[in-house]
Structures are given as structure tokens and as C-alpha cells.
Structure 1
Amino acid sequence: MARIGIYGSSFDPITNVHLWTASTVAHRCKLDQVIFLPCSSKRKDKTIKTEDLHRWNMVQLAIAKDQRFSADSYEMEQEGWNIYTYDTMKYFREKHLEDEVHFIMGADLLGDIGAGLWKKGDALIAENKFIVMARHGIDMLSTISRSPILRNHDDGRFHLIDKGLAMEISSTYIREELAMGGEPRYLLPDACYDYIKEHHLYQK
């Protein structure tokens, strides 16, 4: 049985912080595999700046040298208005029937689920395991204890992880730097930086 983490994001673009986070979680949670899951550009709650093909290609370039990492285009292939994390996790559980599948997310998202802001949030929590990464200013234990949705399933399914080092460089910051003619070369993998320059991405 393998231990697998599902790591979803827009990856627009993928950054060194994404890779560092995935590596840290894999090491500390003893994961055999981390699956990078780029979200659909059709999602109403996301503003994607780049074509799916470019985001997908950059993820592939970024993870190519780490055998623990793979990518899945499942959400990219769905209609944006029909995508719920509950259905995504059901897809991965059925795809990996013999394995233990975990959803990787930040403490801010855990709070949103606990507050009832996610569609099918109750079922998502009831049927899955989670790796929750600390976010500045969020008390994860308190977040769980204050929410009926979360605390009624607090049976070990939440693996709370404090990364130990705050690295808050975002994809948004990189896009803004590139749009202003900045130089964020060392904030993302070299291959992705070269790809962005080659395809003139994120320019005004």
C-alpha cells in the first residue's frame, strides 16, 4: 500500500515554494507519491492568467527530476462549474483502491470547510484523510474544535504540519514581477523560467 498526497493549485506558474512544500510534506508525512493537480481554468472561483497547456507543461518541467512527484490532468479536463473537491478525491480513491490517499491543503482552506463554505464539505471531511499545512495566524487545533463538521471527524484523519519556515512567495508575485519587467528567476525552477521567457508569458 502506497501513501499518496493530492496537491491541488492553479500552478500559474508553479514555483520553488510549491516544490519545497511538496517535498517537505512527502518527507515528514512519509508519502510515497505527491500528485500535482492543476485546477481547471473554467472554475468560477479562480482567475487563471495562462492557458492550460502552458501550466501543464511547466508542472511537467518542474517535477521531472523527482521520482516522488507526478501530475494528473483530471481537473483540467472537467467543466469548471461541476468541479468539487469531494468528487476529485472520490476519483483518486477509486483510482488508487489499494493505497492511502490524502488531500494536501492549507489551514485557511480547512477553516473554510469547517465554516461550511465548501460544496459537499461534510462528505469530503467524512470520507477522506488530510494533510493540513500551517498558515500564519491560524490556530489549526482551534479551527477544528470550533467546527462541528471538523471536530465530529477528528479521529486522526487530520495530519497537522507546521512547515517550520515561512515561505510566502506566491505565483501572483512572480506574475506581477514579470509583467513589470522584473527578474524573479530564482523563485521558480530554471526550466519553467526559460519556458516563460520562450513563450512570452505573463507580460503586459
Structure 2
Amino acid sequence: MAKIGIYGSSFDPITDAHLFTANTVAKRCKLDKVIFLPCSSKRQDKKLYASDEQRVKMIELAIEDNEKFEISDYELNQLAWEIATYKTMKYFRQQYREDEVYFIMGADLLVDIGAGKWQRADELIQENKFIVMARDGIDMLTAISRSPILRNADDGQTFHLIDKGIALEISSTFIREEFHVGGDPRYLLPNAAYNYIKENDLYGYNRKK
């Protein structure tokens, strides 16, 4: 039985923090595979700056030398009204029926799910396992205990909490802003992704250099 982690994000662009997080989670949780899952531009709650195809390419370039890392375009191929983490995780559980599948997320998302802000939050929590990464200012145990949705599904195996030495303050937003104003965030993202951004004039690079 393999252990599979599903790592969803905008990846707009993918950063060194994304790679560090995926690698650290894989090591600490003994995952056999981490699947990078870029969100779709069709989602109404996301404003994206690079196309689906461009973000996929940057991820592919960034992870090509790590045999544990893969990418899935599953959500990119779904109809806008069909995109929901509950349905996505159901799909991956069906794909890996003999394996353990985990959804990798930050503690801020755990709080949102616990507040019922995600579609079918109850079923999402009851039917899946989660690797939850610490975020500044959030006590994960308190977040679980205060939410009926979370605490009633916590059987000791639902949540794998990682609360030490993983948070990096490198965001895709910061990198986009640096490119836009003529900065050079070269060493905050994979070199292959950095070169791709330059070659394709993403995030205003050529207009500000």
C-alpha cells in the first residue's frame, strides 16, 4: 500500500516554498508520491495571472528531477460548476483504491473547512485524510476542537499535523509583485520556472526590466 499526497494550489507561479513543503511533507509523512494539483482558471474564487497551460508547464519544469513528484491536470479539465475538493478527492481515492490518499493543506484552510465554508465540508472531512501544515497564529488542535465538523471526524488518523519547521514566507503573490515592479525574485522560485517566466513575458517581466 502506497501513501499518496494531493497538493493543491494556484502555483501562479510555483515557488521554492512549494517544493520545500512537498519534499518535507513527503519525508516526514513517508509519502511515496506527491501529486501537484493546479487549480483551474474557471474557478470563480481565484484570480489567476498565468494561463492553465503556463502554470502546468512551470510545474513540470520545476519537478522533473524528483521521481516522487507528479502533476495532475484533473481539475483543469472539469466544468466550472463541477470543481470541488470533495469531488477531486473522491476521484483520487478511486484512482488509488489500494493506497492511502491524503489532502495536503495549510492550517488556514483547515479553519475554513471547519467553519463550513467549503462545499460538502462534512463529507469531505469524514471521507478523507489530511496532512495539515502549521500557519502563524493558528493553533491547529484548538481549531479542530472548536469545530463540530472537525472534532467529530477526528479518530486519531484523520489529521496528520505538522507544526515544526515548515512554514516559509515565500508567496506566489510576492513573486508576481516583484516581477511587476521590476524586481528580481530569481532565488525564490525554481530556476527553470524563472527562465520560463522571462521567456514568456509573464507577470510583467519584460515591461519592467
- Give the Cα separation in 2 of the matches to 1:52 and 1:142: 36
1:129 offset after TM fit, Å?
A: 0.3
* Residue identity matched to 1:185: R
1:74 offset after TM fit, Å?
A: 0.2
CA-to-partner distance for each residue in 1:125-184, whole Å, 9 max, x for gaps? 000000000000000000000011000011121000014153111000000100111100
For structure 1, which runs of at least 5 residues remain unmatched after alignment?
none
- The residue that corresponds to 2:184 in the other structure is 183
Distance of aligned partners of 1:104 and 1:165 in 2 relative to their CA distance in 1, 3 Å threshold: closer
Contact 2:111 2:143 in 1 (8 A): yes
For structure 2, which runs of at least 5 residues remain unmatched after alignment?
none
- Give the Cα separation in 2 of the matches to 1:13 and 1:76: 16
Please show how residues 184-203 of structure 1 align to structure 2 within 5 Å: 184-203=185-204
CA-to-partner distance for each residue in 1:63-91, whole Å, 9 max, x for gaps? 00011100000001112232110000000
**Greater than 6 Å deviation, 4+ residue runs:** none
- Give the Cα separation in 1 of the matches to 2:139 and 2:166: 16
- Give the Cα separation in 1 of the matches to 2:40 and 2:181: 26
- The residue that corresponds to 2:72 in the other structure is 72
- The residue that corresponds to 1:48 in the other structure is 48
- Give the Cα separation in 1 of the matches to 2:167 and 2:13: 20
* Residue identity matched to 1:64: E
- Give the Cα separation in 1 of the matches to 2:63 and 2:140: 29
Contact 2:179 2:203 in 1 (8 A): yes
- The residue that corresponds to 1:135 in the other structure is 135
* Farther-moved stretch of structure 1 (77-86 vs 99-108): 77-86
- The residue that corresponds to 1:164 in the other structure is 165
Contact 2:133 2:166 in 1 (8 A): no
* Residue identity matched to 1:98: E
Pair 1:110-2:95 in alignment? no
Contact 1:40 1:79 in 2 (8 A): no
**Equivalent residue of 1:202, what SS?**
helix
Contact 1:24 1:163 in 2 (8 A): no
CA-to-partner distance for each residue in 1:45-75, whole Å, 9 max, x for gaps? 1001111110000000000001110000000
* Residue identity matched to 2:61: L
- Give the Cα separation in 2 of the matches to 1:129 and 1:82: 22
Could you state the TM-score of these two structures normalised by the residue count of structure 2?
A: 0.96
- Give the Cα separation in 2 of the matches to 1:200 and 1:165: 31
- The residue that corresponds to 1:100 in the other structure is 100
- Give the Cα separation in 2 of the matches to 1:57 and 1:133: 26
Percent identical across equivalent pairs?
Answer: 67
1:194 offset after TM fit, Å?
A: 0.5
